[in-house]
Amino acid sequence: MKQIRATKNTPQGIAVVLMRFIGKDIFIKKKKGSPEAINLINQYRQKGIKVWESREWIRIDLLGDETLIKLGQNEIDFKDMTEEEKEKTLADFYIDIYKKGGFIVETQDELTT
């Protein structure tokens, strides 16, 4: 499992997105008033990606039954990847996206909670 936390000061307060990557699945922690996470989830739903909500976490099945997926400008073939390689690929992609968006990103090893 890989985990990242992206934080950014905004005019509305501190924006926090907590994500976990387990194999090909992405989990986003539900937080009140986190429009960044809600926007991301709504984008996935609009694209027809399966999203499940529970009390604390939202699970996103980014790949579904596919093995080839487009992340940014790159097409990535997950077919022959190990679970750890999938987690690293997805985490690295979102780390890059959030850093470009001006977020401070902490990885699993840096998180204390």
29-86 pLDDT per residue, tens: 877 656 777 787 888 889 888 899 888 888 998 877 778 888 888 899 988 999 999 9
Other CB atoms within 10 A of residue 17 CB: 22
Measured CA to CA, the distance from residue 15 to residue 8 in angstroms comes to: 5
Q: What is the domain count for the chain?
A: 1
pLDDT of residue 110: 53
Do 93 and 67 contact (CB within 8 A), yes or no?
Answer: no
Amino acid in the structure at residue 79: K
Instruction: Band the pLDDT of 15: cuts 50, 70, 90.
Output: confident
Measured CA to CA, the distance from residue 81 to residue 13 in angstroms comes to: 39
pLDDT of residue 92: 95
pLDDT of residue 98: 92
Q: Which domain holds residue 94?
A: 2-110
Burial of 71 from C-beta contacts in 10 A (0-12 / 13-18 / 19+):
middle
pLDDT of residue 37: 72
